[in-house]
Amino acid sequence: MGAVLEGKRVAFLAADGFEEVEYTQPRQAVIDAGGTVELVSIRAGEVQAMEHMDRSETYPVDKVVAEVSEREYDALVLPGGVANPDFLRTDPDAVRFVRSFFDAHKPVAAICHGPWTLVEAGVVDGRTLTSWPSLRTDLANAGATWVDEEVFVDNGLVTSRKPDDLPAFCEKMVEAIADGPHVRQHA
């Protein structure tokens, strides 16, 4: 029997340009484990998903990041996609929201290009993580150790490289959320 997330609320933070499968599969994993998901974004309405470089579906935003707090959630998930984290890391409310999960020692999961937002939030120094390979230098410059693994867990921070890694990412993400706050999780 897998981890159970009954009563857990998970924020998925995304802007236009997120990789659809990196939202839909982790979202479904949280729901299948009994958790509740809310899509948080930098503006109200809908956000545009991508399938690689092509437009895909749009998804309704549940909450605007400027109007929420990490206190409302048990964990945070950052899908990838090239444009998505670029929009997020230039939004002060999104950056604040991401950092607040680390300050509260709550689990955070990021896949593909998602860790770009972690760099802007100043939370990767001294950590080991993985990502899409093109982020390697950015992460190293921010003080992180980059590894080429399908999933890596560092004290409540779960990271993966790409959509092919989603099964391992989803499994470790659900485990980290079920474990709850990690006292060694830090900003």
- Cβ within 8 Å of residue 139, ≥6 positions away: 115, 119, 124, 129, 131, 146
AA letter at 120 = E
Which residue is catalytic, options 105, 112, 182, 186?
Answer: 112
**Burial class, 119, CB count within 10 angstroms (exposed 0-12 / middle 13-18 / buried 19+):** buried
**Catalytic annotation present for 182:** no
Which residue is catalytic, options 113, 170, 182, 186?
Answer: 113
How are the residues of the chain apportioned to helix, strand and coil, as percentages rounded to the nearest 5? 35, 25, 35
Distances 138 to 4, 58, 131, 134, 182 between C-alpha atoms, Å: 35, 29, 11, 8, 25
Q: In what order do the strands lie in the sheet with 54-60?
A: 18-19, 46-51, 54-60
**Catalytic annotation present for 105:** no
E strand or H helix that includes residue 136: helix 136-141
> Looking at the annotation, which residues are catalytic?
112-113
